[in-house]
């Protein structure tokens, strides 16, 4: 029972992390993404950093959505037993959270809720849930 409570608390903690990212104003969120690109891709590719930022901005943002929800899918799936049907439950929980997350962004300065992000988030959580299921079922 203690382990389950800890697992649920980890899910809630990660949902809070996602909420904090979503609660950033558009300018702050853009700075975070641009900073990531400058500190990674621009250091490898020494050409025009502004062009590199423009080229990689959207893929980095969408990859971030995928990754944070992949982790959420892992954490939610970790609360369940090893059974294929729990993949569906895990993904549904993550889908519902993704929808609320995108609705929340409508009320944040300069941000918008996007249906594409819900699909990306859900796919990330699906991959995370399936990976944990495959790992555990061995």
Which pLDDT score is estimated for 54? 87
More confident residue, 137 or 16: 16
Cα separation, 80 vs 85, whole angstroms: 10
> pLDDT digit string (tens) for 28-45?
999 999 889 888 888 777
Cα separation, 52 vs 62, whole angstroms: 16
Q: What percent of the chain has pLDDT over 70?
A: 99
> pLDDT digit string (tens) for 53-69?
888 899 999 999 999 99
Which pLDDT score is estimated for 127? 98
Residue positions counted in the chain: 138
Boundaries of every domain in the chain: 2-136
Task: Name the band, by pLDDT with cuts 50, 70 and 90, for residue 47.
Answer: confident
Task: Name the band, by pLDDT with cuts 50, 70 and 90, for residue 114.
Answer: very high
């Amino acid at each position: 029972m203690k382990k389950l409570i800890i697992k649920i608390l980890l899910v809630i903690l990660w949902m809070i992390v996602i909420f904090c990212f979503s609660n950033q104003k558009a300018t702050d969120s853009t700075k975070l993404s641009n900073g990531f690109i400058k500190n990674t891709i621009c250091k490898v590719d020494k050409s025009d950093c502004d062009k590199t930022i423009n080229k990689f901005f959207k893929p980095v943002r969408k990859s971030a959505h995928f990754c944070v929800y992949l982790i959420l899918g892992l954490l939610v799936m970790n609360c369940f037993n090893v059974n294929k049907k729990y993949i569906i439950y895990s993904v549904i929980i993550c889908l519902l959270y993704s929808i609320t997350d995108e609705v929340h962004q409508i009320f944040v300065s300069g941000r918008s809720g996007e249906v594409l992000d819900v699909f990306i988030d859900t796919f990330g959580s699906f991959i995370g849930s399936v990976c944990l299921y495959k790992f555990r079922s061995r």
